[in-house]
Amino acid sequence: MHEPRALLDLGDTAVARLARRRHHLDLNALRDLVTQRGETSDAVDKLRARSNQLAKQARDLRGGDGSDRVRTQARDVKEQIQKLETEQRRLSDELTDFLLAVPNLPDDELPDGNTEADAVELRRVGEPQTFDFTPRHHAELGESTGILDLPRAAKLSGARFAVSRGMGALLERGLAAFFLQLHTWEHGYVEYSVPTLVTPETMTGTGQLPKFADDLFKTSVGGRDLYLIPTAEVPLTNLFAGETLDPDSLPLALTAHTPCFRAEAGSYGKDTRGILRLHEFSKVELVRICTPERSRAELALLLDHAEDCLRRLGLAFRTVLLPAGDIGFSATMTYDIEVWLPSQGTYREISSCSDCGTFQARRAGIRTRDRKGRKGYAATLNGSGLPIGRTLAAILEQGQQADGSVVLPEALVPYVGGVKVLEPTN
């Protein structure tokens, strides 16, 4: 969330930067809210001072001449204070609602544009496979090798759910273990086990609410509202909500493997086949928290850690810098890692690594204190490291053979009981 005075001080610059990401900032409306709230607060302060004066006069008179008049005046002032305090709360709530709807400012380094077609490619790693046969879709490969059962998933829960069985379930478990071991043993992350049901305040802290309410699954039991997390970024970042972090503890590097739940509102008709876009999936998430001046270096580190997962698995991928109009609500800069899918003949996003600056920390109240004792807000970063389903889809498609078998990445073999090849069962 933004500090309103910072947006007003930037003025037309803030308007222009937010316009790059297709958000119209109404400076006049913001200025009016800030002015009205300030004037109301000043009026309340003056009335409180007047109330204190009248209280002192009433004590001095102690029932003497004029005491009734003073008491009447004191009651009138208290009534005015109550009315103005109600107005003050209304204006504060309205200002908060206004600011919660304003996305983060995109970094000036980002290219213009609103779609993935406007992204700037930074590098490609690995050569996309060439086949002397028509490459098969991962859903077909999953079913023919017996590791996916999509029809039964639909019977259980409807569209956009998946069931893995046998080696499929083991592959998912093995991938999660591989990613977690890599991130904790070699990349220096601390693994957490976190709730997948969180409060509205937790969702608001990282920017999911109120903007993306339609994309979230919600449950209400016993008068209590809780949301299913769309990513472990939500609980991991909010672990430190309302806290002031010691500079010697930074940067923090956190990871967790969790189920993730997304309603995917507005995406119906996209990727309906297979396991690329599900309502429920699992993912290993990476979160880093640091001082603002370190955020860009931490983003490079985070990106390398996510890429390393694909390098170790030998999967062909590319990394792109997203344009200003295509980054997430809380991000100021985002790199997408896209893995090659032979059946589609294109690269598809498998990880987004974002620098959110102090945007989330302001919403969640995550502060730092420098060595001179001065407080400020932390910077937060997040990225997938990696989603299990999309990684499995890439393994199936890039490892497929003409006979319908799938060769598994060598690095993954120790995590799946030594199995090197998935053989077709039908």
**Residues with active-site annotation:** 262, 277, 349, 352, 390
Check: CB of residue 229 under 8 Å from CB of residue 198. Answer: yes
**What is the SS3 assignment for 385?**
strand
Residue 408: DSSP 8-state:
P
Q: Name residues whose C-beta falls within 8 Å of residue 5's C-beta, 6 or more positions apart in sequence.
A: 34
Secondary structure of 24-84 in HEC code, one letter for each residue: CCCHHHHHHHHHHHHHHHHHHHHHHHHHHHHHHHHHHHCCCCCHHHHHHHHHHHHHHHHHH
Please give the C-alpha separations between residue 319 and each of 213, 254, 309, 348, 392, in angstroms, as whole numbers: 30, 23, 13, 10, 19
Q: Which residue has the tokens 């970094």?
A: 107
Residue 365: DSSP 8-state:
T
Write out the H or E segment, with its range, that includes residue 266.
none
Peptide bond into 251 cis (omega under 30): yes
Backbone angles phi, psi at 343, to 5 degrees: -65, -25
**What is the SS3 assignment for 221?**
strand
Q: Which residue has the tokens 């993954």?
A: 412
Residue 118: DSSP 8-state:
G
Cα 355 off chain centre by: 10
Check: CB of residue 389 under 8 Å from CB of residue 169. Answer: no
Which residues lie across from 148 on neighbouring strands? 164
Check: CB of residue 83 under 8 Å from CB of residue 309. Answer: no
Check: CB of residue 325 under 8 Å from CB of residue 114. Answer: yes
Check: CB of residue 8 under 8 Å from CB of residue 34. Answer: yes
Tokens of 184: 């904790």
